C-alpha cells in the first residue's frame, strides 16, 4: 500500500495548508481538558477532492470546523489561499450533516441565503444564479416548497445548492449523506461525483463510509481517535469519472477497501475499549 | 397527496382537507352531546322542576338573557372596556416578554442570574396580588391592565426563552458560514427560529390575561364584563350571570383562535405538533 506524504508532488502553493493543528477544550462537567485533534498536517491543492475518513468521535468534524472558521485552533495554523483563517469567509461553503436549512424559508430563499450577505446579491442576475443552482441539484419545480415538505435527500440537495450558489473555491462537506436513506445516498454519491468533476471545486468531504471515501476521493485522509490525528493519507488513483457501479469490481477499489477496513477496524475497537 | 403541476413536476400538497372531513364527524357527535345535555337540563328545571329555577335557570331562560345582552348598550360598553384593558396589557406583555425572553435565552450570563427568578415568579400565585394592585392603582383601568400584564408576561418570557435556548447550533453555524454576524444573526436566525415559541406563549398569556382582567373587575372595579357579572350574581339574577359567563367563554376562545390563526399565518413552516410539548 502506497502511503503518500502530506505534500503532493504538484506545482504551485497549496490552496489549503494545515500545519501542526491541535484543538482542545475544557470540559466543564469533568474539569478535564479534552484533546479533539492533535498535530494535524495537510496540504490540499486547488481542484482536489479530499475525503476524510474515520470513526465517530475522531475529531474529523472538528478539523473541518477549523477550516470553515467556526472553531479556533488551539495551536498550529490553517492557511487558505495563503492567508490564515480567522473566521468563516465567502471562499468556503459548508454542507451540514443535518442540512441546517432555515425552516421558515422556501427552497428558493434558502438557496438565496448562500449569497445574500455578499455583494453578489447587489449585482443584477442573482435570481438567475439562485435558479441555476436549484436546477443544478435537480430541484426545479420545488422553489416555493418549505424544507419540511421535502425528503431528507431533497433537503440536502437544497443544502448543496446553497453551498455552491456563491461559487466558493472550497466546499466543506460534513457527512452530508449521513442522515439520508441508503438508496438516496447511493444516487447522491454519484451525483456529487459528477457535479464536482464538472465544477472542479476543491472539496473536503467528511465521511465514515469506506465506499464513499474511495468513490469520491482523490486522496483519503484516514483519522484515528484519542486523540484525533491523521493516521495515514492514501492516493486512490482510480480513473474518473467514477460511479458506484463502475468501481465495484475494480481490483484497486477492492484493495483500498480491504486496507481501509483493517485500518478502521483497529480504530473502532480502540475507540470502543477506551470508552 | 401529490398533484401534477403544469410543468409536470411533482408538488407536495398538505392533506389538510382530508383531515377536516374526518373531523366533521366528531363535530356532529359533539353537537349531539351538547344538545342532549341542554335537553336534560331544560327538562329537569322547567318540566320536572327537580331544581329551583332561581338557583339554576333553564337553558331557555339563559338564551333569553343572552339575547337581551346582545342588544344592551351597557353590555357593549363593558365589553369594550374589558377588551380594551386586555389588549393594552397584552401588548405591553408581548413587547416586554419577547424582549426579556430573547435576551435571557441568548445570554448565558442572564440565563444563570435572571432565569431562576423568572421561574420563581412564574410559579407564584400572582392572583393573590390582585387586591394589592387595586389598592395601589385604584379601581380604574390601571390596576386591571397591570394584572393582565403580570399574568400574561411570564408565559411569554419563558416560552421565548425556551425557543431562543433551543435554536439549533447548526442553524447558527450555517448563519456564520454564510456571513451572518452580530445583530443580523439575531434578526435572521434567532428571532424567526424563536417566533413559534413566542406565539405559543402569547396564546397562553392571552388566556391568563383575560382571567386577570375579569378577576380584577370582580375584586374591585367600576366597569367591564367582570363587574357586570358580579352585579348580576349578587342580584341573584342567575340567568344573566350564566349568560355573562358564556360570553366570556366565547371571547376567550375567539382570542385563542385568533392567535393560533396568526401563528399559522406568521409561522407556516412550523409543525403545531412539535410545539405541543413546549410550554
Which residues on adjacent β-strands are paired with residue A94?
A172
Residue B108 sits in the same domain as residue B215 = yes
Judging contacts by C-beta atoms under 8 Å, the chain B residues touching residue A101 are: 174
User: How would you classify the pairing of strands A83-84 and A33-44?
Assistant: unpaired
Instruction: Classify residue B52: in a domain, yes or no.
Output: no
Q: Is B269 on the interface with A (CB under 8 A)?
A: yes
Residues B113 and B19 in one domain: no
Domains of chain A, first to last: 1-91+171-176+184-275 (3.40.50.300), 101-167 (no CATH)
Report the Cα–Cα distance between both ends of chain A, in Å, rounded.
31
Q: How far apart are CA A145 and CA B230, in angstroms?
A: 53
CB contact under 8 A, A117 and B174: no
Q: Are residues B180 and B118 in the same domain?
A: yes
**Cα-Cα-Cα-Cα dihedral sign, residues A99, A101, A107, A113:** negative
The verdict on a CB contact (< 8 Å) between A141 and B192 is no
Taking CA atoms, B229 is separated from B234, B235, B237, B250, in Å, by: 9, 10, 10, 15
In this predicted complex, what is the ipTM?
0.87
| Nearest-by-Cβ selection for A96 from B174, B195, B267 | B174
Closest to B88 measured CA to CA, from B224, B244, B228: B224
Phi, psi at residue A114, to the nearest 5°?
A: -60, -20
Helix (H, G, I), strand (E, B) or coil at A11: coil
The pLDDT of residue B10 is: 42
Same domain, B73 and B196: yes
- Nearest CA of chain A to the CA of B269: how many Å? 5
Instruction: At A49, list the grid cell.
Output: 477532492
Among A115, A96, A208, A215, which Cα is nearest to A159's?
Answer: A96
Question: Packing angle between helix A152-164 and helix A107-116, nearest 10 degrees?
Answer: 30
Residue with cell 501542526: A20
In angstroms, the first-to-last Cα distance of chain B is: 32
- Residue A184 C-alpha, separation from nearest chain B C-alpha, in angstroms: 17
Is B197 or B5 the better-scoring residue by pLDDT? Answer: B197
* Mean pLDDT within A51-58: 89
Q: How many domains does the structure of chain B reveal?
A: 2
Average pLDDT over residues B136-164: 91
Determine whether the interchain pair A70/B176 forms a contact, defined as Cβ–Cβ distance below 8 Å.
yes
Whether chain A has a CB inside 8 Å of the CB on B7: the answer is yes
Question: By C-alpha distance, which of B219, B220, B205 is closest to B252?
Answer: B205
- Per-residue model confidence (pLDDT) at position A41: 95
| Mean pLDDT value of segment A33-59 | 91
Which pLDDT belongs to residue A6? 52
Q: Is residue B143 domain-resident?
A: yes
- Identify whether B71 is part of a domain: yes
For residue range A157-209, list pLDDT tens digits in order. 999 999 999 889 999 999 999 888 888 888 888 888 888 888 888 999 999 99
How much is the mean pLDDT over chain A? 88
Residues B165 and B197 in one domain: yes
Q: Does B77 share its domain with B35?
A: no
Is B189 in the same domain as B258?
Answer: yes
Q: For residue B206, give its domain range.
A: 59-275
- Exposure letters B102-135 (e unless 16+ CB within 10 A, then b): bbbbbeeeebeeebeebeeeeeeebbeebeebbe
Lowest mean pLDDT among A22-31, A47-56, A75-84, B16-25: B16-25
pLDDT above 70 covers what percent of chain A?
A: 92
Tell me the nearest-neighbour CA distance from A200 into chain B, angstroms. 21
Angle, alpha carbons A76-A81-A82 (nearest 5°): 55
Short-list B80, B46, B76, B86, CA closest to B63: B46
CB of A150 less than 8 A from some CB of B: yes
User: Given an 8 Å threshold on Cβ–Cβ distance, is A142 in contact with B11?
Assistant: yes
Of residues A93, A142, A148, nearest to B269 (C-beta): A148
Same domain, residue pair B121 and B149: yes
Candidates A98, A114, A140; nearest CB to B178: A114
| pTM of the model as a whole | 0.79
Chain B: residue whose CA lies nearest to A67: B177
Residue B66 lies in a domain: yes
In a domain, residue B54? The reply is no
Judged against a pLDDT cut of 90, whether residue A256 lies above it is answered with yes
- Asked if A144 and A131 count as a contact pair (C-beta separation under 8 A), the reply is no
Least confident of A229-233, B19-23, B160-164: B19-23
Name A34's Cβ contacts closer than 8 Å, sequence gap at least 6. A24, A25, A26, A27
Contact A142, A177 (CB under 8 A): no
Are residue B105 and residue B197 in the same domain, yes or no?
yes
CA distance A9 to chain B (A): 31
d(CA B232, CA A109) in angstroms, rounded, equals 57
Quick one: B29 and B101 in the same domain? no
What is the nearest CA distance from A261 to chain B, expressed in angstroms?
31
Q: How far apart are CA B210 and CA B229, in angstroms?
A: 14
Q: Given its phi and psi angles, is residue B29 left (phi above 0), alpha (psi -120 to 50 degrees) or beta? A: alpha
Within a domain: B53: no
Interface test with B, best of A103, A161, A171 (most B CBs within 10 A): A103
Inform me whether the C-beta atom of residue A96 falls under 8 Å from chain B C-beta atoms. yes
Name the residue facing B179 among A65, A88, A150 (closest C-beta). Answer: A88
Cα-flanking dihedrals φ and ψ of residue B144, to 5°? -70, -45
A254: distance to nearest CA of chain B, Å? 36
A–B CB contacts, 8 A cutoff, strictly below: 76
CA-closest candidate to residue A148, choices A97, A106, A95: A106
Kind of pairing, strands A229-235 and A219-224?
antiparallel
Nearest residue in chain A measured CA to CA from B8? A141
Instruction: Say which CATH number the domain at B170 has.
Output: 1.10.3720.10
| Domain shared by B37 and B112, yes or no | no
Q: Give CA separation, A217 vs A91, A148, A202, B115, B165, in Å.
A: 21, 31, 11, 49, 38
* Coil, helix or strand at residue A79: strand
Q: CA nearest A62: which of A268, A225, A179?
A: A225
**Same domain assignment for residues B136 and B89:** yes
Amino acid at each position: 500500500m502506497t502511503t503518500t506524504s502530506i505534500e503532493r508532488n504538484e506545482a504551485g502553493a497549496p490552496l489549503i495548508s494545515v500545519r501542526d493543528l491541535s484543538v482542545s477544550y475544557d470540559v466543564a462537567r469533568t474539569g478535564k481538558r479534552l484533546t479533539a485533534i492533535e498535530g494535524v498536517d495537510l496540504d490540499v491543492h486547488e481542484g482536489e477532492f479530499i475525503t476524510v475518513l474515520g470513526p465517530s468521535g475522531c475529531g474529523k468534524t472538528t478539523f473541518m470546523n477549523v477550516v470553515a472558521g467556526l472553531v479556533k485552533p488551539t495551536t498550529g495554523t490553517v492557511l487558505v489561499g495563503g492567508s490564515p483563517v480567522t473566521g468563516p469567509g465567502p471562499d468556503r461553503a459548508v454542507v451540514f450533516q443535518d442540512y441546517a436549512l432555515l425552516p421558515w424559508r422556501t427552497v428558493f430563499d434558502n438557496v438565496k441565503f448562500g449569497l445574500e450577505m455578499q455583494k453578489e446579491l447587489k449585482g443584477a442576475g442573482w435570481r438567475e444564479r439562485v435558479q441555476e443552482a436549484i436546477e443544478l441539484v435537480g430541484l426545479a419545480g420545488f422553489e416555493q416548497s418549505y424544507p419540511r415538505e421535502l425528503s431528507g435527500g431533497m433537503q440536502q440537495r437544497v443544502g448543496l445548492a446553497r453551498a455552491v450558489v456563491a461559487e466558493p473555491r472550497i466546499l466543506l462537506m460534513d457527512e452530508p449523506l449521513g442522515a439520508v436513506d441508503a438508496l438516496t445516498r447511493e444516487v447522491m454519491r454519484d451525483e456529487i461525483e459528477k457535479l464536482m468533476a464538472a465544477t472542479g471545486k476543491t472539496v473536503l468531504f467528511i465521511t465514515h463510509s469506506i465506499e464513499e471515501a474511495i468513490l469520491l476521493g482523490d486522496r483519503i485522509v484516514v483519522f484515528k481517535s484519542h486523540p484525533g490525528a491523521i493516521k495515514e493519507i492514501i492516493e486512490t488513483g482510480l480513473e474518473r469519472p467514477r460511479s458506484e457501479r463502475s468501481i465495484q469490481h475494480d481490483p484497486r477499489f477492492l484493495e483500498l477497501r480491504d486496507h481501509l477496513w483493517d485500518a478502521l477496524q483497529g480504530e473502532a475497537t480502540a475507540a470502543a475499549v477506551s470508552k | 397527496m401529490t398533484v401534477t403541476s403544469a410543468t409536470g413536476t411533482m408538488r407536495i400538497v398538505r392533506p389538510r382537507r382530508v383531515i377536516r372531513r374526518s373531523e366533521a364527524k366528531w363535530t356532529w357527535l359533539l353537537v349531539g352531546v351538547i344538545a342532549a345535555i341542554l335537553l336534560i337540563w331544560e327538562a329537569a328545571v322547567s318540566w320536572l322542576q327537580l331544581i329551583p329555577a332561581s338557583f339554576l335557570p333553564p337553558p331557555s331562560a339563559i338564551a333569553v338573557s343572552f339575547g337581551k345582552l346582545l342588544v344592551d348598550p351597557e353590555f357593549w360598553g363593558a365589553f369594550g372596556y374589558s377588551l380594551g384593558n386586555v389588549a393594552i396589557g397584552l401588548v405591553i406583555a408581548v413587547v416586554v416578554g419577547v424582549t426579556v425572553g430573547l435576551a435571557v435565552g441568548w445570554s448565558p450570563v442572564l440565563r444563570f442570574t435572571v432565569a431562576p427568578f423568572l421561574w420563581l415568579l412564574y410559579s407564584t400565585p400572582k392572583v393573590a396580588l390582585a387586591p394589592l394592585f387595586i389598592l395601589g392603582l385604584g379601581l380604574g383601568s390601571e390596576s386591571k391592565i397591570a394584572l393582565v400584564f403580570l399574568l400574561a408576561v411570564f408565559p411569554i418570557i419563558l416560552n421565548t426563552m425556551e425557543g431562543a435556548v433551543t435554536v439549533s447550533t447548526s442553524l447558527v453555524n450555517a448563519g456564520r458560514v454564510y456571513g451572518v454576524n452580530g445583530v443580523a444573526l439575531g434578526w435572521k436566525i434567532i428571532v424567526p427560529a424563536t417566533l413559534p415559541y413566542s406565539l405559543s406563549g402569547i396564546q397562553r398569556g392571552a388566556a391568563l390575561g383575560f382571567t386577570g382582567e375579569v378577576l380584577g373587575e370582580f375584586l374591585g372595579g367600576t366597569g367591564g364584563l367582570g363587574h357586570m357579572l358580579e352585579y348580576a350574581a349578587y342580584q341573584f339574577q342567575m340567568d344573566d350571570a350564566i349568560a355573562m359567563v358564556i360570553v366570556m367563554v366565547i371571547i376567550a376562545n375567539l382570542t385563542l383562535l385568533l392567535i393560533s390563526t396568526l401563528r399559522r399565518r406568521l409561522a407556516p413552516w412550523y409543525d403545531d405538533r412539535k410545539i405541543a410539548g413546549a410550554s
